[in-house]
Amino acid sequence: MRTVLGCIGMLLVALPAVAATKSVTLYLDGARVESSVTVSGSYLEIPLPAGATTDSLRIRPQGGTRLSRVELVPARPEPKLGRELARLEERRELLHDRLKALATREDIFKAAAKAQSGKAPRKTKANPEPLASVRQGTDFAIAQLEGVYQSRRKTEHDLKSVEEQLAALKKNGNADGTVARVWLAGKGGRVTASYLRPDLKWHPVYDVHLREGNRLELVMRADFPPLGKDAMVTVVSGAFDAPLPHPAAQPVAAPLAPVTTLVLPLEKELVASTPQPVVTFTFRNLSDRALLPGEATCYRQGEFLGMVPFADVAPGETREMTCGR
């Protein structure tokens, strides 16, 4: 089965072709994925993942290569993957049917329990202990209800597992994606393709270290899903539609890699030590870049004080924070 390298992987298939180079630029509201491959054949396919915006696809020939035709079609899973998807989808439908049947059984036994408990006991020769008969009938209906609830819980658990398997297979096999079929003319050259993924973005997270000497060490990190070892990743402190030029771009090696580190003076630091240490401090952003909103992990002289929201701080702005509350 052909695999897609990474959740945003772009596999360029050409005859013959060399491995594609891939770069990912992460914004606060999406990503731009670009892949380039050297080709000498007349045809290639560019799979786009389900999260890609097909209208954003751009294909640029370079060197002696020219584009003759481009066609977008739904991705077709490999036969083995298709069979597994069909099996799981059939299993999902059977589980839905099972839940409907259990709901009907629940209604029946609820009604039976209610009818038994609502009976007026009447002693007869055939029924000398009416209360015992009513209790027996009620206990039977409730026991059946317990079996229904256990079966429903197991069925719901199985259904959740099937849904997760379907989602993983569709994502890794690009079953819900699109394929760009590209016909080429000319000899030699390269083809560069790019597209946008609004579902893939980065989030700033911070390490806040309160050091001795009234110093604050602030580390901004870029949090994002793993993109594969072959991807060159850059984060941009702005959105797709930010006015040009975009804010400064920063290459990062991996998720949670540092984007920037600032050492700032503390203007105020108050420590309440009872019952647990709580620190309130004030600092001023003396850098020329905005500090974006995110989550912060606080430390004071090496001691972990918890996690708190981090509000955006413009250059020159003063911000008060409390850690450990």
What string of pLDDT tens digits covers the 325 residues of the chain? Answer: 333 333 333 334 433 444 468 899 999 999 999 999 888 788 888 888 888 888 999 999 988 888 999 999 887 766 777 778 788 888 999 999 999 999 998 888 888 777 766 555 566 666 566 566 667 777 788 888 888 899 999 999 999 998 888 777 766 655 667 889 999 988 778 899 999 999 899 999 999 999 988 899 999 999 998 888 788 999 998 888 776 555 567 888 889 989 889 999 999 999 987 788 899 999 999 988 889 999 999 999 889 999 999 999 999 999 999 998 8
Q: Give pLDDT, residue 206.
A: 96
CA–CA distance, 315 with 230 (Å, rounded to integer):
35
Place of tokens 């394929």: 179
Give the rounded distance of the alpha carbon of 129 from its chain centre. 62
> Which tokens belong to 143?
């026991």
CA–CA distance, 115 with 2 (Å, rounded to integer):
60
CA–CA distance, 236 with 23 (Å, rounded to integer):
13
Give ∠ CA 144-145-148 in degrees, rounded to 5: 90
CA–CA distance, 47 with 10 (Å, rounded to integer):
6
Q: Are strands 30-38 and 190-197 parallel, antiparallel or unpaired?
A: antiparallel
CA–CA distance, 277 with 296 (Å, rounded to integer):
17
Q: What is the residue extent of each domain of the chain?
A: 13-78+175-197, 79-172, 203-227+255-323
Place of tokens 């099996």: 87
Q: Give pLDDT, residue 172.
A: 64
The yes or no reply on domain 13-78+175-197 and CATH 2.60.40 is yes
pTM for the full predicted model: 0.66
Residue 189: left if φ>0, alpha if ψ -120 to 50, beta else—which one? Answer: left
Give ∠ CA 234-236-239 in degrees, rounded to 5: 135
- Give the CATH class of 79-172: mainly alpha
Give the rounded distance of the alpha carbon of 182 from its chain centre. 30
Place of tokens 């993957």: 81
In one-letter notation, the amino acid at residue 44 is L
Task: Kindly report the number of other CB atoms within 10 A of residue 222's CB atom.
Answer: 24
The 8-class DSSP code of residue 285 comes to -
